Amino acid sequence: MASTRKEPKSKYTVDRGMPGAFEGETVTRRRFMTLTAHGAGAGAAMAFTLPALGFAVGTAVFERPPVRWEAVGTTEDFPNDTYIPKVITMTTGIGEVGKTTVYMRARNDEIDEKPDPPGYDEQFVAVSTRCMHLGCPVRYVGASQRFICPCHGGVYDFQGKVAGGPPVRPLDRFYTRVRNGNVEVGPRYSVNSELRRFDSYRDPAQPLDGIGQYLYPPRLSTQKQ
């Protein structure tokens, strides 16, 4: 007499009556498409997050060069109502390519906001010439008291705030200090639209207002002051 005991089904076998499944299939077409969609979504998410994570981790792991201060003149050389251009060395050992121009003036308490965070004694203002749209060099025009970018029409006011055009934030600045009567320029830092200071600078086209300050990893190429 034939046995009537049913063999247990394999956990990898799909019932014939399951919609979308053929006999012998281990995964239904519906589940296959679901897994494919989830995999594509995970791949897209990694494409956005991994480069930023790698950049942030990489800059933190590699050794950063020491802070470099460079004297640019005496305290009497800089008025508080206009800017004086000065050439400083950003990267040593590569000649003229490693130099850049900064616009400098004495701090004017009538127009300059108090330093943020408070307690930072900035007697002199050093403004970067790199436009915060795509990095083109800007020029200070004394007659209009504006910084002008000739590439795409970026305009900044006397403090370096955006006054027109496509730039996403004010011009970067540099730390300054006074030693033995000489004004020295240190590392670069970035500011948002309210001139709030961020110790590590960001690249052009990266806003620092609202969620923008969290979306872009900081440049940790120099130590904090």
Per residue in 58-73, pLDDT tens? Answer: 554 445 567 789 999 9
How far does CA 144 lie from the centroid of its chain? 29
- Domain 70-215 -> CATH class: mainly beta
Cβ atoms < 10 Å from Cβ of 3? 6
How far does CA 44 lie from the centroid of its chain? 22
How does the average pLDDT of the chain come out, rounded? 79
Q: What is residue 97's predicted lDDT score, i.e. its pLDDT?
A: 83
Please, which residues have CB within 8 angstroms of residue 161's CB and are 6 or more apart in sequence?
A: 170, 193, 195
Q: What percent of the chain has pLDDT over 70?
A: 69
The helix or strand, by DSSP H or E, that contains position 71, with its residue range, turns out to be strand 70-74
Q: Is the predicted pLDDT of residue 49 greater than 80, yes or no?
A: no
Q: What are the structural domain ranges in the chain?
A: 11-62, 70-215
Q: Confidence class of residue 42 from pLDDT cuts 50, 70 and 90? A: confident
Q: What is residue 129's predicted lDDT score, i.e. its pLDDT?
A: 95
Tell me the sheet residues that pair with 198.
190
Average of pLDDT values for 169-176? 94
CA distance from start to end of the chain: 92
Whole-Å CA distances, 36 to 33, 43, 207: 5, 11, 35
Q: pLDDT tens digits for 183-194? A: 999 988 999 998
Average of pLDDT values for 40-62? 62
Do 127 and 169 meet the contact criterion of CB atoms below 8 Å apart? no
Q: Is the predicted pLDDT of residue 14 greater than 50, yes or no?
A: no
The dihedral sign for the CA sequence 69, 110, 210, 163: negative
Average of pLDDT values for 202-207? 90
Whole-Å CA distances, 118 to 114, 175, 184: 7, 14, 21
Distance CA 99, CA 87 (A): 7
Do 128 and 172 meet the contact criterion of CB atoms below 8 Å apart? yes
How far does CA 54 lie from the centroid of its chain? 14
| Residue in 167, 161, 154 with CA at minimum distance from that of residue 206 | 167
How deeply is 158 buried, as exposed, middle or buried, from its count of CB atoms within 10 A (0-12, 13-18, 19+)? buried
